[in-house]
Chains A and B, each alone.
Chain A
Amino acid sequence: GAGVSQSPRYKVAKRGQDVALRCDPISGHVSLFWYQQALGQGPEFLTYFQNEAQLDKSGLPSDRFFAERPEGSVSTLKIQRTQQEDSAVYLCASSRSGTSGPYEQYFGPGTRLTVT
């Protein structure tokens, strides 16, 4: 079946602009995660949804970052007033189950954000 999809694949924003990044998880997957990957680094956790509930947002770097998943399927990560340090690849992953396992996470291709 279809995997995780993300759009746009590439986004260039001027410093101070707001951006919205979209994630379509695998159909029926309960859990959805957002990660940020800087160049040459492993992905770092941002936030986690189980269905429409945001259960963990401890990784969001500032209050400029906001995520939602209103109907428990598609999710949007919004970054307000973008800064140069926000330049990174934003990855979305989904997992079939919630807290009871299994815990395999499947990743989308990512959105590469460049802030100029």
Chain B
Amino acid sequence: QKEVEQDPGPLSVPEGAIVSLNCTYSNSAFQYFMWYRQYSRKGPELLMYTYSSGNKEDGRFTAQVDKSSKYISLFIRDSQPSDSATYLCAMNRGSQGNLIFGKGTKLSVKP
């Protein structure tokens, strides 16, 4: 079993929909949680960065962390065709710097 599990999709939604992306993890030592967006043939772009359980909002994006369930989510409100990309969750233990990534979920937002 991988340390971080993420449904690869693909996920297709109409423009304006609310999108929910999720990851589960097995290692309770993870403290820092990130969401990256990756367009085709580009590097991952940092979207959200959170520490500890709770919600963090930035514009149309909300990141949620539930450490008791080892479950993290990213919500995208009023989705746009430009949101079409692969979304990667990532996490680390803090003092150990390398990130552990999920497989990525491919999202397509149809106009």
A residues in contact (CB < 8 Å) with B: 4, 31, 33, 35, 40-45, 48, 50, 55-56, 59, 91, 93, 95, 98-99, 101-110, 112
Contacts and interface: CB of A to CB of B under 8 A. Distances in A.
B34 to A, nearest CB: 7
Contact of B44 (A91, A98, A101): A91
Nearest to B98: A45
Interface residues of B, number: 27
Contacts of A112: 41
A105 B46 contact: yes
Contacts, number: 68
A112 to B, nearest CB: 8
Nearest to B89: A42
B99 interface: yes
Nearest to B103: A42
B102 A42 contact: yes
A35 B104 CA distance: 15
Top-5 shortest CB links A-B: A42-B101, A107-B43, A45-B98, A109-B43, A107-B44
Contacts of A43: 44, 88, 99, 101
Contacts of B96: 56
Contacts of B41: 112
Contact of A95 (B95, B97, B101, B102): B97
Contacts of B45: 107
Nearest to A99: B95
Contacts of B49: 102-104
Contact of B43 (A31, A56, A91): A91
B60 interface: no
Contacts of A31: 97
Contacts of A99: 95, 97
B105 to A, nearest CB: 10
A95 B42 CA distance: 19
A48 B98 contact: yes
